[in-house]
Amino acid sequence: RSPLPDMHMMVARPEQWVKPMAVAGANQYTFHLEATDNPGALIKDIRENGMKVGLAIKPGTTVEHLAPWANQIDMALVMTVEPGFGGQKFMEDMMPKVQWLRTQFPSLDIEVDGGVGPDTIHKCAEAGANMIVSGSAIMKSADPRSVINLLRNVCSEAAQKRCLDR
């Protein structure tokens, strides 16, 4: 069975979708902290269903709300737009959350999602993101392959620089 990429579940009651996503072959299940009353139980359920755990926060949620769970997850996702629809403007004021997570949890995968493209990728990578989601910037490009390569290269170079700086 071929694993699916990360399932970013922008849903109410994410608990109800864990088993169906595991059965479908997902290898990571990312849920929004704001969508559950019991993150610990949900993290446990995701793990018991054989998937990695991603935990997302919306722009209005402080990174300190995510911190207690950081040692129990595989990936932290900082939303850089309000969840819901593509093409929104990147919120640069979310980068301190990424920087703080990278400082406090250096080995954690940190992803940003929302408004990421050639004009904003450097800010994300320099803040400490090593994973990105980019939709509109790729899909609306005349040359999607070159945009993907640029995004990948900027993240890789920033990660290498962080390793050298340690």
- Please list the pLDDT of the chain residue by residue as tens digits (166 residues): 455 568 899 999 999 999 999 999 999 999 999 999 999 999 999 999 999 999 999 999 999 999 999 999 999 999 999 988 778 899 999 999 999 999 999 999 999 999 999 999 999 999 999 999 998 999 999 999 999 999 999 999 998 888 887 6
- What's the CATH fold of domain 6-165? TIM Barrel (3.20.20)
Place of tokens 């400082």: 103
For the chain, which residues make up each domain, given as ranges?
6-165
pTM of the model: 0.92
Q: What are phi and psi of 133, to 5 degrees?
A: -120, 130
Helix residue spans in 69-134 (DSSP H): 95-104, 121-127
Residues 6 or more apart in contact with residue 77 via CB below 8 angstroms = 8, 30, 54, 55, 56, 57, 110, 111, 112, 113
Burial of 89 (0-12, 13-18, 19+ CB in 10 A): exposed
